[in-house]
């Protein structure tokens, strides 16, 4: 099978930890955490795995600038800015926000790493593809060559980051003497989920890869997953195709929507932090792990014994309103 080239930027392989106290509380199940929040400091989180493949493609085709987008506290945008600085490329970010956004967290780090940043409102951001292309054309007019990355680097080339991660997990299973019968990840733009699902299907691993969406709904992300898998086939020459029913997305935990938290979610993040010394984030892992916890409590995953949750990072993305919920306990 053909595999695209990748760079080596992330600290890999990431550790797998057993959440002993949580597992004991839940009973009859062992919960493990794949620490992809520890892929690095500046590049921490899941996005750098995708970027290792995408940036290699950009370099191989003579691009000198990475152009991407996201919310003002986007982990992907920050990882792209950091990776670009490490590699020696320029970076331009188009971020959804406003002049009232505090220059903190990921947004601050974007600037620290030297990225050029355009802040646009929500309505304008709906035309993000047009905005990205316009920026690419602007750079071309100045003699530069801009490589466009979608939100979350969630496309065919980015999907190989978690194809690679699945192979890493299978090797770690041998070392640990454990077989994970369920692997669970957040679905925020579908790239991580699609990459895991693609590899799991290709190698005929008998684990079920579950996604828990933290925005939109199952139908939307099943469509996005199918699209990314089709793009991955173009690189590998394989013909992996899954029906909607073969894409296990657990819906119902998006809460108030993307980047918005309710007290129950923040309470749960605080609970896990004090129980296991693990910091989840309010946008992605907090919602998804809260979903996993509740699905186990409801008995919906009772057929699984060893469950691996992918901690995709996000520690820099806490906003003041979310921090205030914890401060006011």
Please write the tens of the pLDDT for every residue from 244-253.
999 999 999 9
Q: Report the pLDDT value the prediction gives residue 301, as an integer from 0 to 100.
A: 97
pLDDT tens by residue, 287-304: 999 999 999 999 999 999
Q: Provide the 8-state DSSP code for 73.
A: T
Mean pLDDT of 269-289: 97
Report the run of H or E that residue 310 belongs to, with start and end: strand 306-311
Q: In what order do the strands lie in the sheet with 146-148?
A: 116-120, 90-96, 65-71, 146-148
Distance CA 186, CA 99 (A): 29
For the chain, the distance separating the N- and C-terminal CA atoms, rounded to the nearest angstrom, is: 53
> What are the catalytic residues?
74
Distance CA 232, CA 158 (A): 9
75, 316 Cβ separation under 8 angstroms = yes
Q: Report the pLDDT value the prediction gives residue 294, as an integer from 0 to 100.
A: 98
pLDDT bin (cut points 50, 70, 90) of residue 319 is confident
Q: Report the pLDDT value the prediction gives residue 329, as an integer from 0 to 100.
A: 59
Distance CA 44, CA 54 (A): 17
Instruction: Find the range with the poorest average confidence among 233-237, 256-260, 288-292.
Output: 256-260
Q: Report the pLDDT value the prediction gives residue 326, as an integer from 0 to 100.
A: 73
pLDDT tens by residue, 182-191: 999 999 999 9
Report the run of H or E that residue 90 belongs to, with start and end: strand 90-96
Mean pLDDT of 86-109: 96
Question: Mean of the per-residue pLDDT values for the chain?
Answer: 96
């Amino acid at each position: 099978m053909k595999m695209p080239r990748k760079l080596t930027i992330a600290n890999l392989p990431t550790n797998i930890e057993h959440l002993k106290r949580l597992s004991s509380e839940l009973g009859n199940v062992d919960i493990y955490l794949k620490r992809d929040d520890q892929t690095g400091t500046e590049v921490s989180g899941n996005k750098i795995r995708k970027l290792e493949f995408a940036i290699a493609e950009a370099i191989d085709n003579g691009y000198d600038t990475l152009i991407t987008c996201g919310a003002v506290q986007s982990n992907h945008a920050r990882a792209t800015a950091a990776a670009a600085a490490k590699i020696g490329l320029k970076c331009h970010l188009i971020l959804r926000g406003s002049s009232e956004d505090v220059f903190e967290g990921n947004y601050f780090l974007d600037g620290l790493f030297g990225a050029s940043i355009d802040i646009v409102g929500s309505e304008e951001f709906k035309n993000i593809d047009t905005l990205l292309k316009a920026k690419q054309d602007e750079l071309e007019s100045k003699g530069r060559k801009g490589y466009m990355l979608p939100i979350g680097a969630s496309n065919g080339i980015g999907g190989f980051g978690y194809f690679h991660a699945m192979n890493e997990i299978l090797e770690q299973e041998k070392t640990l003497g454990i077989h994970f019968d369920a692997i669970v990840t957040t679905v925020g733009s579908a790239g991580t989920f699609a990459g895991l699902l693609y590899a799991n299907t290709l190698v005929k691993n008998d684990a079920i890869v579950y996604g828990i969406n933290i925005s939109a709904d199952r139908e939307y992300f099943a469509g996005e997953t199918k699209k990314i898998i089709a793009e991955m086939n173009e690189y590998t020459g394989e013909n992996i195709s899954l029906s909607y029913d073969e894409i296990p997305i657990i819906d119902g935990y998006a809460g108030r929507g993307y980047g918005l938290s309710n007290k129950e979610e923040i309470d749960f993040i605080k609970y896990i932090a004090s129980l296991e010394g693990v910091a989840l984030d309010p946008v992605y892992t907090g919602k998804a792990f809260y979903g996993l916890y509740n699905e186990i409590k409801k008995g919906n995953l009772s057929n699984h014994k060893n469950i691996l949750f992918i901690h995709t990072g996000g520690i820099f993305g806490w906003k003041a309103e979310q921090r205030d919920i914890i401060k006011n306990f």
